[in-house]
Every structure is written in structure tokens, then in C-alpha cells.
């Protein structure tokens, strides 16, 4: 409750501040999907921070997981005559009409985090991560770390059939192909959750000689890795040493595990999609520079050498 109040206050103050700096800054409408995960909450708070940093007035609309709310919000932004619109689309289809309206009003639209199935001229650019690359970066780290030694990997997959699970699996397999010493011994779904990650890892540990045969655990997200780490500890092994732990997302809790020496690497899915979006918008407004159609965010690798305690502190307040 308190936080909501603070946010409201912040928004209020931000509006006041930026009304003063109206001449310098743009007014941007942001239609967010909702708050289905910690990552999304972090994306919202980082977007607000980035806007404030640049003196941009951000009009924020939470769609509560409904496309109709997003379309309503976008029409609202058009009516208010904003300078640009950011959309994190909840689904891929059904955007032609409302994006066409924005185009007619000459308001550039930037897609965040997810793509849409609509003609490319209806939006200025899209900012998203490359999930296959995330898997590849994780795999490349493992290849580099184990060298020529034989290594049996167990994989905690995301929800069966979900795009991130398919892509992160594909990228990892690409990276380890051609290195016959590294094999994926077992692969099961942990549904992207801690509890299931722990349960699945418990099963793997029993099935692989009490865990003695496992050299590394690759999890499609950090939450499952955190669950898996607990299972490894319960089995009397040392996560991070006896079994290497590599995962994706870079949420605060994996940095806490890293600081404790229990995780080895994570690949960041940055919540800062708005930064590159604002950069592209500012350049476009200033001298009409057309950005690339697909801006891919960096998939940065973090290891214990990257000050995990500091990263934990820095990310903790973002709402993950």
C-alpha cells in the first residue's frame, strides 16, 4: 500500500517537475502489460527512472493483462497528443488498426520486450532481447569453464512450449554442439518456478548417482536455479563447486547466491528496455534519424567477478 502511495507521489512530483521542463522534454505514453512477474515490475520502475533521468514526462497505463485496455490506453495517448508511445504488447496479433491510428496522428510507436504481427511501417522500432542468444551466452560460458573435461549437464526447462523455454534451450544447445565432452544428461520442466525447480533437481540428483555424476546445472531462469541450489545443498553437495550453476535473467536473488559462492553465472535479461527506446526516440525527434527496426538489448554475462553483492543491492529495490 505504502509503495503504491509512494509511486503515486513520485508520479505526481515527476509531472510537476517535467511540466516545468516541458520545452526540453517529450511527453511519452507507456502502455505496460500489467505486473505478472517481478521482472515486469522492474521494467516498469526502470522505465520510470529512465524517463525521469532524461526529463521525459511519462504517462503510465497498466493494462492488467488485457489487450483491450492497451488499445484504449493508446487511443487515450493519441487523443492527448503525446510525442511518442511505448507499448509492451500483451499478445502478438490485432494491432494493425490502433497502430494505424497512431501513424495517422504522426506519433511514433516503440514496441518493448515483445513483438507484434503487423506491417513494420506501423511502428518506429522494437526493443527486445534475443532469447536464443541468452541461451548461447550461458552455453558459451560453460564451454569455456569446463574446457576439455567431460561434463554432464542437467537442464531445468521453462514451461513446456513457451517461447523463452524453446529459445533458451536452442541457444544453449547451439553453444555446446561441437563440444562432445559436454552432454545434456537430463532435461525436465520446472515451470519457471522455485518450488518446481527444487523438486525437479531433487529427482535429477537421485537419478544421477546422488548428484556425483552431474557437473553442471543449466536453468532457463534464475528462480528455478535458486530452487535447484537448495536441492543440491540438501543432497549434501556444494552448489557452485561440486555442481556448476548457470542460469538466465539476473534477478537479485541469484546475485545473493553468487555472493555466497553458490551460483557461477547468470545472463542478464535487462529490464531496461526503455533506455534504448528513449535513445532512438530522441535521435528520431532531433534529426529524423530512422533507427534500426529491431534493437536487440545486450545479453550480459555476470559471474562472481562482477561484484554480485553490489548488483544485489542495486537491483533489490526495483520490484523484482
Residue ranges that bind other proteins, judged by CB under 8 A: 3, 35-38, 41, 157, 160, 186-189, 191, 193-196, 198-200, 202-204, 206-207, 210, 223, 226-227, 230, 234-236, 253, 319-320
Grid coordinates representing 244 are 556448476
d(CA 164, CA 167): 5
Secondary structure (DSSP) of the chain: -HHHHHHHHHHHHHHHHHHHTTTTS-EEEEEE---SSHHHHHHHHHHHHHHHHTTPEEEEEE-TT-HHHHHHHHHHHHHHT-SEEEE--SSSSS-HHHHHHHHHTT--EEEESS--SS-GGGSSEEEE--HHHHHHHHHHHHHHHHTTS-EEEEEEE-STT-HHHHHHHHHHHHHHTT-TTEEEEEEEE-TT-HHHHHHHHHHHHHHTGGGTT--EEEESSHHHHHHHHHHHHHTT--BTTTBEEEEEE--HHHHHHHHTT---EEEE--S--HHHHHHHHHHHHHH-PPPPSEEEPP--EE-GGG-HHHHHHHHHTTT-
Q: How many other β-carbons are positioned within 10 Å of the β-carbon of residue 218?
A: 29
Grid coordinates representing 163 are 517461447
Q: Say if CB 37 and CB 222 are below 8 A apart.
A: no
d(CA 258, CA 222): 11
d(CA 164, CA 57): 32
Q: Taken in order 237, 238, 243, 249, is the CA torsion positive or negative?
A: positive
Amino acid at each position: 500500500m505504502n509503495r503504491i502511495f509512494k509511486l503515486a507521489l513520485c508520479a505526481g512530483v515527476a509531472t510537476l517537475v517535467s511540466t516545468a521542463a516541458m520545452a526540453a522534454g517529450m511527453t511519452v505514453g507507456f502502455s505496460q502489460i500489467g505486473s505478472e512477474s517481478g521482472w515486469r515490475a522492474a521494467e516498469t520502475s526502470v522505465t520510470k527512472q529512465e524517463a525521469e533521468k532524461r526529463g521525459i514526462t511519462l504517462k503510465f497505463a497498466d493494462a492488467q493483462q488485457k489487450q483491450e485496455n492497451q488499445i484504449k490506453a493508446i487511443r487515450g495517448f493519441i487523443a492527448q497528443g503525446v510525442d511518442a508511445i511505448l507499448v509492451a504488447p500483451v499478445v502478438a496479433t490485432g494491432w494493425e488498426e490502433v497502430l494505424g491510428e497512431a501513424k495517422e496522428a504522426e506519433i511514433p510507436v516503440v514496441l518493448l520486450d515483445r513483438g507484434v504481427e503487423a506491417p513494420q511501417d506501423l511502428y518506429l522500432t522494437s526493443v527486445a532481447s534475443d532469447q536464443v542468444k541468452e541461451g548461447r551466452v550461458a552455453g558459451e560460458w560453460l564451454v569455456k569453464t569446463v574446457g576439455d573435461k567431460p561434463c554432464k549437464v542437467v537442464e531445468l526447462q521453462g514451461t513446456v512450449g513457451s517461447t523463452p523455454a524453446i529459445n533458451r534451450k536452442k541457444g544453449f544447445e547451439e553453444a555446446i554442439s561441437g563440444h562432445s565432452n559436454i552432454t545434456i544428461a537430463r532435461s525436465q520442466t520446472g515451470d519457471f518456478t522455485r518450488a518446481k525447480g527444487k523438486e525437479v533437481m531433487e529427482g535429477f540428483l537421485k537419478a544421477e548417482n546422488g548428484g556425483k555424476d552431474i557437473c553442471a546445472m543449466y536453468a532457463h531462469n534464475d528462480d528455478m536455479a535458486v530452487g535447484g541450489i537448495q536441492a543440491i545443498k540438501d543432497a549434501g553437495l556444494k552448489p557452485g563447486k561440486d555442481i556448476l550453476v548457470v542460469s538466465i535473467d539476473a534477478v537479485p536473488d541469484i546475485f545473493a547466491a553468487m555472493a555466497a559462492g553458490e551460483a557461477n553465472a547468470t545472463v542478464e535479461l535487462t529490464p531496461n528496455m526503455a533506455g534504448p527506446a528513449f535513445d532512438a526516440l530522441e535521435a528520431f525527434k532531433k534529426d529524423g534519424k530512422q533507427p534500426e527496426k529491431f534493437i536487440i538489448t545486450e545479453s550480459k554475462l555476470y559471474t562472481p567477478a562482477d561484484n554480485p553483492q553490489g548488483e544485489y543491492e542495486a537491483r533489490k529495490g526495483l520490484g523484482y
